[in-house]
Amino acid sequence: MQLIINDKSVEVEDGSAGQMLLWALRDELGLTGTKFGCGAGICGACTVHINGVATRSCVTPLALVAGQEIRTIEGLAEGERLHPVQQAFIDLQVPQCGWCMSGQIMTAAAFLAQNPTPGDDEITQALRYNYCRCGCYVRIHAAVKQAAEEMNEE
């Protein structure tokens, strides 16, 4: 099966109907920045973008994403320049263990692309279903807010 991942066309061998995108990314393509958490579409650790929309790859069958634009955390930066959300997460030292972070960042990046001037409540709502077992929610919120401000200054 041909997939378009981070602007490149790639081939994955196991395109069976039951194969989920997460496992093709991690096991076949080595894109391990996308994490496995619950495997049930609940925690958000596996979030990628499909055509710019934040999507949980653990419950997304490969068969549904052939020919779609898939972006993972490895393809979020523009060359050497990190996405403003990535930079803000570094600047504010957001991660603790880091496991949930690519999902948080991918969710926030898709959200800010749709809503570049969010209020605090909108940020809270947008990230409410991305769980962080380390409880970094205050810093995650602050980083998304900072990224929005920086994106609007550019």
Q: Which residues bind ligand FES (CB under 6 A)?
A: 36-39, 41-46, 56, 58, 95-101, 132-134, 136
- Choice between 12 and 94, CB closer to ligand FES: 94
Taking the complex as a whole, the smallest distance from the CB of residue 87 to ligand FES amounts, in Å, to 17
- Choice between 41 and 75, CB closer to ligand FES: 41
- Please give, one letter per residue, the 3-state secondary structure of the chain: CEEEECCEEEECCCCCCCCEHHHHHHHHCCCCCCCCCCCCCCCCCCEEEECCEEEEHHHCEHHHHCCCEEECHHHCCECCECCHHHHHHHHCCCCCCCCCHHHHHHHHHHHHHHCCCCCHHHHHHHCCCCCCCCCCHHHHHHHHHHHHHHHHHC
- Choice between 52 and 98, CB closer to ligand FES: 98
Taking the complex as a whole, the smallest distance from the CB of residue 51 to ligand FES amounts, in Å, to 18
